[in-house]
Structure 1
Amino acid sequence: MNFRQLDLNLLRVLAAIHATRSVTAAGRRLALSQSATSNALARLRGFFGDQLFVRSPGGLEPTRRCEELAPAVVQHLRQLEALVTGESRFDLATTDMHWKLSLSDLGEMLFLPRLAAALRAEAPRARLSNISVAAADVAAALETREIDCAVGILQPRHRGVRAEPLFREQYVALASPQWRPPAGRPGRALTQAQLADAALVVASPTATFHTGVEQMLTRARLAHRIVLRARHFGALPELARATDLVAIVPEMYARDLGERYQLRTWRLADAPHYDVRLVWHASTERDPAHQWMRALLHRLFGRAVAVSPPSPPRPSSPPPGRRGEP
């Protein structure tokens, strides 16, 4: 038996006869004449060396060999049809899908707990991995399917890469409750002059989408006030709590920390806003599993991004950077 000699169209006839128990009914289902269907059955019998179906009072009954073949043939034909038509079946309760995301270290801290809880509740057999990919390599990783999607301060311009905003974010200052600005009156926001007298700490992860904090401080001529650079955001809350250092972090992270560490958040005067985007490849646009994951990320973390009228450009303030946290 040589599989290459089998006309795969004959398998559709096998499945139809198995379902209808009739050559005539199978022909109608496949839009074939009775003679064409009978000829196809004869070719199937010759290829497999088995009658496949025998006559009985109730119609055609499958042989043991046919019962071995037919269920698998039907299953694979359905899978092939779903693949070709783009209507692949996706069942949350049974899927063992392995999603591969790329989040920064801060994104992992902020997003993974809620994402994991949702997956365990809604898709308990699914798996999830966070893959470390540098911002410059995200588009290539998406194209090669190393990752399925990425979340961060990303604005890819590569062909075939899709992006949409999840929420708008800005940087804030985080300090111990006892800390006060060295100069000027304390208010809800710290001015550039007050930051110029403060000792700052920032996180500088190695493989991440994060460069926005230092870019912002450089534009504000405050980079020289950075006295400590940590490798991970996880060190910042204890540094702010136990010292006079002021941590510059995304607002979402500050809100999360403020509730757990009793830290004080200060807004930054004239701090730029930036969009945190969900990025994926066009090849997964219509895949039901990927559609569900993107919808879940929007449901858990998406916030409406208001479109503000453009502000008049200021010579001393270049456009904000395109990468950062989370």
Structure 2
Amino acid sequence: MTRFDLNLLPVALAIYEEKSVSGAGKRLGMSQPATSAALNRLRQAFGDQLFVRTANGMEPTPRAMTLINPAREILARVEDDVLQGEAFDPATTKAVFSFALSDIGEMVFLPKLLERIQREAPHATVASVTLPVQEIAAAIEAGRVDLAIGYFPDFQKNNFFQQRLFSHAFTCLLRRNHKIRGNQLTMQQFLNLGHAVIRAEGRSQEVFERYLEKKKIERRVVLSTPHFMSIPFIIGTSDLVATVPYAVGISFAEFAGIKLVKPPLEIPRFDLKQHWHRKYHEDAKNRWLRSIVADLFHNDARWPGKAA
């Protein structure tokens, strides 16, 4: 019995319920000879006839009757717990959905994500984490973070999947009553203005900085800060200019007397994506979460990358 073939249990159960070897084979998609051979192996394993032919079909012996209920329970357990995997119901889950987001990512993604998750998974918790870039991959692999959303150009390893959400661009910020009028800066204006420069942990700002280095364009930097959140108050009360991702500019323009103007440069666009580890590619929770992100932001028309 230590080498008992568990594949024989469905055969025993089918013969019991069909009262026929041929009927059991048909139900299991097996030929009659194969079903008969399986029955013989069952008989050898248990040292009992198990099923005998009668006028009413194949009837179970007492030994067979002790086998049927445990066989049902075993097969049901395999079906429910092994083959189907862990069930995931957004309406009842108390899971923590964890996202790796920069401060820009929180402004762009978090409000709509939170609203949608609260509506469909009301008992869940949403967590936004900010980690050094070199630690995010390990956190996703370990399951401490479900998804990284934003600009993460380092996630090129085979262990990660990614989905492009939308392409993004940059805009310039000025105070609303700035002496410079119009909706686009000239190159001379861009060079003459004092600049507030953000050197945050998020990677998207690197696209702009690398572009300036490549073009050998030197700004007059008046302020350097690692934080985006101070920018609207600084720009709204000074003559400085700041260049930021368009979605950030849209958020800032809603308060603090900020206006958006087009930069005088053809700054490369960049793709925002969601990233996950291959370990969780088929995980029900992760798949549901990815579908929510894709539904909300894939080809998002709110961020055309053009200043208003």
TM-score normalised per structure 1 = 0.67
Instruction: Measure how far apart 1:27 and its partner are.
Output: 9.1
1:78 counterpart letter in structure 2: D
Query: In structure 2, how many angstroms separate the alpha carbons of the residues matched to 1:108 and 1:195?
Result: 28
SS of 1:270's equivalent? coil
What are the equivalent positions in structure 2 for 1:4-43 lying under 5 Å apart? none
2:128 counterpart letter in structure 1: N
For 2:298, the equivalent position in structure 1 comes to: 302
Query: In structure 1, how many angstroms separate the alpha carbons of the residues matched to 2:124 and 2:76?
Result: 26
After superposition, give the CA deviation of every residue in 1:284-318 in whole Å (9 maximum; x if it has no partner): 3333332222221122222269xxxxxxxxxxxxx
Query: In structure 1, how many angstroms separate the alpha carbons of the residues matched to 2:90 and 2:24?
Result: 33
What are the equivalent positions in structure 2 for 1:153-232 lying under 5 Å apart? 153-155=151-153, 156-181=155-180, 186-206=181-201, 210-232=205-227
Cα pair 1:167 1:302 within 8 Å, conserved: yes
| 2:266 maps to which of 250, 271, 285 | 271
Query: In structure 2, how many angstroms separate the alpha carbons of the residues matched to 1:242 and 1:14?
Result: 82
SS of 1:190's equivalent? coil
Structure 1, 230-239 or 157-166: larger mean CA deviation: 157-166
Runs of at least 5 residues in structure 1 that lack an aligned partner in the other structure: 45-58, 61-65, 306-326
Query: In structure 2, how many angstroms separate the alpha carbons of the residues matched to 1:180 and 1:216?
Result: 27
For 1:79, the equivalent position in structure 2 comes to: 81
Instruction: Measure how far apart 1:38 and its partner are.
Output: 11
TM-score normalised per structure 2 = 0.70
Does residue 1:262 correspond to 2:260, yes or no?
no
For 1:101, the equivalent position in structure 2 comes to: 99
Query: In structure 2, how many angstroms separate the alpha carbons of the residues matched to 1:262 and 1:96?
Result: 41
Query: In structure 2, how many angstroms separate the alpha carbons of the residues matched to 1:278 and 1:110?
Result: 13
For 2:284, the equivalent position in structure 1 comes to: 288
Change (3 A) 1:204 1:10: farther
After superposition, give the CA deviation of every residue in 1:166-213 in whole Å (9 maximum; x if it has no partner): 1111111112111134xxxx4321123211111111322246664234
1:293 counterpart letter in structure 2: L
Cα pair 2:97 2:126 within 8 Å, conserved: yes
What are the equivalent positions in structure 2 for 1:230-245 lying under 5 Å apart? 230-245=225-240
Query: In structure 2, how many angstroms separate the alpha carbons of the residues matched to 1:71 and 1:260?
Result: 63
Query: In structure 2, how many angstroms separate the alpha carbons of the residues matched to 1:14 and 1:243?
Result: 83
Query: In structure 1, how many angstroms separate the alpha carbons of the residues matched to 2:72 and 2:18?
Result: 12
For 1:143, the equivalent position in structure 2 comes to: 141
Instruction: Measure how far apart 1:256 and its partner are.
Output: 1.9
Cα pair 2:168 2:271 within 8 Å, conserved: yes
SS of 1:189's equivalent? coil
Instruction: Measure how far apart 1:120 and its partner are.
Output: 0.7
Instruction: Measure how far apart 1:71 and its partner are.
Output: 6.9
Change (3 A) 1:33 1:163: closer
Query: In structure 1, how many angstroms separate the alpha carbons of the residues matched to 2:97 and 2:208?
Result: 30
Query: In structure 1, how many angstroms separate the alpha carbons of the residues matched to 2:122 and 2:9?
Result: 35
Cα pair 1:100 1:129 within 8 Å, conserved: yes
Percent identity over the alignment is 26
Change (3 A) 1:74 1:214: same
Change (3 A) 1:152 1:108: same
Query: In structure 2, how many angstroms separate the alpha carbons of the residues matched to 1:263 and 1:148?
Result: 35
Structure 1, 105-114 or 25-34: larger mean CA deviation: 25-34
Alignment RMSD: 4.2
Instruction: Measure how far apart 1:243 and its partner are.
Output: 1.8
Does residue 1:119 correspond to 2:117, yes or no?
yes
Instruction: Measure how far apart 1:106 and its partner are.
Output: 1.2
